[in-house]
Structure 1
């Protein structure tokens, strides 16, 4: 069974409560984290520490981790602006932040799972039709090398883009853009885009998406759990 989280944003209590519930109720769990563990909320370090404790996982880069890494490298970044919330992350980690930089630098930026007949792409944000998806799925370097090699603008990348677009043959699962409840988009009766960022740090719930690996019909077999459990 696959459990997907996105945009935890330092909301440790909701995250811990939901993980504890999942671990009690389910077995043979694989986690996929879609990035944005940090910023805005008060407990970014606790969130990252819990992610690190989880054994069977895929962990992806979000735009907030990307902003932080640019800042730490002395490059232009709006990470510390009030809206982006980097100051809360600095307060949460304190002097220990440098110890976590290798973890952030090694994050993948996209992930593919073929589950039964469905091609799931897991990404922090939406994917543009002009984004070189096939190349991204086979790329061995890091996010910034990929942008440079394929001349992809940062705002058009799969950790910053905000426009849901139909990518033929794939179901894109992402966060990045807060919504009141998970949004499932269809074309010709087929699901192509699922947004699970339900704005926990803004007072909404933290959502976990569950995909059973024996999935037979995507419309009926997707489940969502909320952080108020």
Structure 2
């Protein structure tokens, strides 16, 4: 969704670090343009892997992690079309370099950025890659903090949880935020959203 991404980035202050949560390809019409835009802003950004990038690399390198046809059932045709069926080596190299998670600390608060979520009861360094990219229900069922992190993730459109395409602040029984879902369903008719965090841990939502 190149046009929306460009519009969203232009609303973010130039000196702000941007942490992307994955899914740069598939479903939307302009996967190549999106990746080209990411290359242009890489000095101010951190890029994480999404499940769609993982499916693409699995298909291209024939790793056999996913069943035959899985990537194509999840939008591969639109991605290949945007590249005229020829995904260049620099794009493959970039996608293979993507991190699975990123940690930031603002004052005393630690934030864990990840595409899908985490599995509770497992140390971060021992998390299964599939969970970090794909987990949904098992992650949302929990009502407690994971190792004192606030988890910021995408992957699950917020409509799936709340019936609305709005950033979702998941809280525990003490009304403390335990995770924040910023997937507001852009490819499903919703919005593309960013969550700003200032030095005092105040949040600002930008959506287009």
- TM-score for the superposition, normalised by structure 1: 0.78
**Alpha-carbon separation, structure 1, partners of 2:97 and 2:185:** 26
Per-residue CA shift, 1:97-128, capped at 9, x if unaligned?
A: 13210000011110000111110000001211
Q: Is the 8 A contact 1:40 1:85 kept in 2?
A: yes
Give the aligned partner of residue 17 of structure 1. 7
The one of 186, 189, 201 aligned to 1:203? 189
Residue 165 (structure 2) pairs with residue 174 (structure 1): no
Q: 1:151 to 1:203 in 2, by over 3 A?
A: closer
Residue 146 (structure 2) pairs with residue 159 (structure 1): no
> Which structure ranks higher in relative contact order (CA pairs < 8 Å, sequence separation ≥ 6)?
1
The one of 28, 35, 59 aligned to 1:41? 28
Give the aligned partner of residue 28 of structure 1. 15
**Alpha-carbon separation, structure 1, partners of 2:123 and 2:116:** 14
Give the aligned partner of residue 169 of structure 2. 184
Give the aligned partner of residue 75 of structure 2. 85
- TM-score for the superposition, normalised by structure 2: 0.86
Give the aligned partner of residue 67 of structure 1. 55
**Alpha-carbon separation, structure 2, partners of 1:153 and 1:64:** 13
Q: Unaligned stretches of 5+ in structure 1?
A: 1-10, 136-149
Give the aligned partner of residue 140 of structure 1. none
What RMSD in Å do the two structures reach over aligned CA positions?
1.6
The equivalences for 1:104-183 within 5 A come to 104-133=95-124, 135=125, 150=126, 152=128, 154=130, 157-162=131-136, 163-164=139-140, 165=142, 166=144, 167-179=146-158, 180-183=165-168
Q: Which runs of 4+ in 1 moved over 6 A?
A: none
Q: CA deviation at 1:75?
A: 3.0
Residue 87 (structure 2) pairs with residue 97 (structure 1): yes
**Alpha-carbon separation, structure 2, partners of 1:16 and 1:200:** 13
